[in-house]
């Protein structure tokens, strides 16, 4: 029964640590609470789990960690009846463990959020009858109906109807993609308007979304945790501590001096160095709108060589905006062109149409009414405005209407810049164009420059076209570009074992890359819950503006860890010398050792006051 308890709960709770601390105070004050020294309570609650884990590690594979040295000090203190010293060392060790546990408690939460994206049901056609069935019941060849606002349940091909699907979840494309009969659609994408019929090409369990979920879990399982600093040096520490203790015992003939050496040599400063610095850094970052989800994220961030940025929603706003309005006919001004286009689009559900309307309304002017509105998926929208027939649609309109010679050139020019162009037709003549694009965030270029100043390389990874990637890359100052990437392509890029790459993304389609990267950083915002659950750090607000501060705090944190280790070694060295000279007893040695640990904690707490970069 005892072994089962130790296996299930080898680390004490904060409640146990509190009881142990109270027991040590009673022991130090000489308050009798039982027929035994109250320090035994601390030994039982905090020390026994340390002894058990250390013993099992040695027996299972001669795995020597920091707990082995602590166990030796505990046993030696107990054999010499220095119960307070034993309890104090055990408590300090477990406080460090509790701090470490606090920083990693949420390390692997969130993978199930991906599964929640998959629709639970699908609308299957049996002849002329439409039935609702569980999504997992869909088989290849089934005919399905997808309504406006619904998520495509499986991979397939459109057989009837026209619409536009939002593929940002799966590919990161910032704009909806028009779909008509014969076009492929993939699971996880969202039908933005209208209804279409599709033929399932795969079962739900083999769909693109389910493959993404499986890859995310696989990437998470492959990410090994960073070993604690104290555990890396444990073999050396155990050997040095034992040698010093034996030499002091042999040289002085006093066992108590050797025991004191073991007590003061305990690596509590090592154990506290990392978790206290990490906890203070996390507190600082939280105040600046950055959440750290994994305990070793800061250690890995300090080693990053390259930052890979997603484009849509990370470096850009993630929504289309009007970037240019150009009248091609002398009979209309740019303002009049935008007014007519917005009037025709005012009842549109398409994101591009809503962006045109929003751009006009920014001027504070009312829209003229529109009548007889007709939507032609993949072509555009037509309406009667002020007794004129206005059509706003894709460049495919150039082939069906009278176009000014420069129209095609303008369309091509804006397309090269990564923009989507809508042509505006009055009656039967194309009179101008409206260019829309996903625009760069104001802080993006400064953030990239700050990373370059730190010696960190940058790369842009996007599912958008090469033209869109080049346009945003040039504005942001990123030279290395990768375009037309699927989620698995991003994952393969950042998982390169030869480079320490941090992935920065905001979308669900970034979840694979965030999990597979050396470290993942999610940018908060709409649709970012799954990305955040897959990341090691989350920029809650302000886009990527806090990214330089995150890297700066990671470097400061690791510098503070190294500083604390050095100071801890100096304190321990002095304590060992005093113990060898007989100037410290196990109890006073434990107090000295405790004072050194407190100094480490206070020094780490200075990170809380570090300023934003």
Please give the positions annotated as active site: 310
3-state secondary structure 253-321: CCHHHHHHHHHHHCCHHHHHHHHHHHHHHHHHHHHCCEEECCCCHHHHHCCCCEEEEEHHHHHEEEEEE
Pairing of strands 519-523, 537-539: parallel
Which residues are CB-contacts of 8 (< 8 A; sequence separation ≥ 6)? none
Q: Which helix (H) or strand (E) holds 426?
A: strand 420-426
Nearest to 113 by CA among 211, 204, 213: 213
SS3 content of the chain, % helix, strand, coil (to 5): 50, 20, 30
Element counts in the chain: helices (H) and strands (E): 24, 23
Q: What angle do CA 524, 525, 531 make, to 5 degrees?
A: 55
Which residues are CB-contacts of 552 (< 8 A; sequence separation ≥ 6)? 454, 610, 613
Distance CA 521, CA 403 (A): 47
Fill in the DSSP letter of residue 45.
I
Angle between helix axes 268-287 and 586-605 (nearest 10 degrees) is 20
- β partners of residue 321: 437
Fill in the DSSP letter of residue 191.
E
| Phi, psi of 123, rounded to the nearest 5 degrees | -100, 105
Which residues are CB-contacts of 6 (< 8 A; sequence separation ≥ 6)? 48, 49, 52
Which residues are CB-contacts of 10 (< 8 A; sequence separation ≥ 6)? 49, 52, 53
């Amino acid at each position: 029964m005892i072994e089962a308890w130790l296996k299930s709960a080898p680390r004490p709770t904060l409640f146990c640590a509190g009881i142990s601390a109270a027991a040590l105070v009673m022991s130090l004050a000489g308050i009798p609470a039982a027929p035994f020294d109250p320090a035994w309570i601390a030994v039982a609650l905090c020390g026994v789990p340390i002894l058990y884990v250390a013993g099992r590690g040695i027996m299972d594979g001669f795995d020597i960690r920091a707990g082995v040295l602590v166990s030796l000090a505990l046993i030696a203190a107990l054999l010499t009846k220095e119960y307070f010293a034993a309890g104090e060392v055990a408590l300090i060790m477990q406080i460090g463990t509790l701090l470490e546990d606090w920083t990693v408690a949420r390390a692997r939460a969130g993978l199930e959020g991906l599964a929640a994206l998959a629709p639970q049901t699908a609308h299957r056609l049996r002849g002329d009858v439409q039935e609702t069935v569980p999504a997992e019941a869909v088989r290849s060849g089934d005919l399905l109906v997808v309504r406006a606002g619904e998520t495509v349940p499986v991979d397939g091909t459109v057989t009837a109807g026209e619409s536009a699907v939002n593929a940002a979840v799966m590919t990161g494309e910032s704009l909806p993609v028009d779909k008509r009969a014969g076009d492929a659609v993939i699971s996880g994408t969202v039908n933005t308007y209208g209804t279409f019929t599709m033929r399932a090409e795969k079962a739900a369990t083999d769909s693109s979304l389910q493959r993404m979920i499986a890859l995310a879990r696989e990437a998470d399982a492959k990410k090994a945790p960073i070993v604690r600093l104290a555990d890396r040096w444990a073999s050396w520490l155990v050997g040095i501590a034992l040698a010093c203790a034996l030499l002091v015992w042999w040289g002085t003939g006093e066992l108590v001096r050797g025991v004191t050496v073991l007590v003061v040599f305990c690596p509590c400063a090592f154990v506290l160095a990392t978790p206290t610095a990490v906890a203070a850094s996390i507190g600082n970052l939280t105040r600046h709108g950055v959440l750290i989800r994994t305990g070793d994220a800061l250690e890995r961030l300090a080693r990053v060589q390259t930052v890979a940025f997603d484009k849509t929603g990370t470096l850009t706003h993630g929504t289309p905006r009007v970037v240019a309005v150009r009248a091609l006919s002398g009979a209309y001004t740019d303002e009049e062109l935008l007014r007519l286009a917005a009037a025709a689009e005012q009842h549109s559900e398409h994101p591009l149409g809503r962006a045109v309307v929003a751009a006009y309304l920014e001027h504070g002017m009312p829209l003229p009414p529109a009548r007889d509105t007709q939507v032609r998926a993949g072509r555009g929208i037509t309406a009667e405005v002020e007794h004129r027939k206005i059509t706003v649609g894709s460049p495919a309109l150039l082939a069906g209407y009278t176009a000014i010679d420069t129209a095609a050139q303008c369309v091509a020019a804006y397309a090269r810049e990564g923009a989507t162009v809508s042509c505006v037709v009055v009656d039967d003549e194309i009179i101008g164009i409206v260019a829309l694009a996903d625009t760069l965030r104001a802080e993006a270029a400064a953030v990239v420059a700050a990373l370059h100043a730190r010696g960190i390389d940058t790369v842009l990874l996007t599912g958008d076209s090469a033209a869109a990637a080049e346009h945003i890359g040039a504005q942001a100052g990123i030279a290395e570009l990768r375009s037309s990437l699927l989620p698995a392509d991003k994952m393969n890029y950042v998982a390169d074992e030869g480079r320490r790459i941090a992935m920065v993304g905001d979308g669900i389609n970034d979840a694979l890359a965030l999990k597979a990267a050396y470290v993942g950083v999610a940018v908060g915002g709409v649709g970012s819950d799954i990305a955040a659950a897959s990341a090691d750090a989350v920029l809650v607000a302000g886009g990527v503006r806090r990214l330089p501060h995150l890297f700066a705090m990671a470097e400061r944190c690791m510098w503070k860890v190294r500083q604390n280790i050095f100071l801890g070694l100096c304190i321990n060295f002095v304590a060992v010398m005093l113990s060898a000279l007989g100037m410290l007893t196990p109890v006073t040695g434990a107090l000295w050792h405790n004072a050194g640990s407190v100094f480490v904690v206070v020094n780490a707490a200075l990170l809380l006051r570090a300023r934003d970069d």
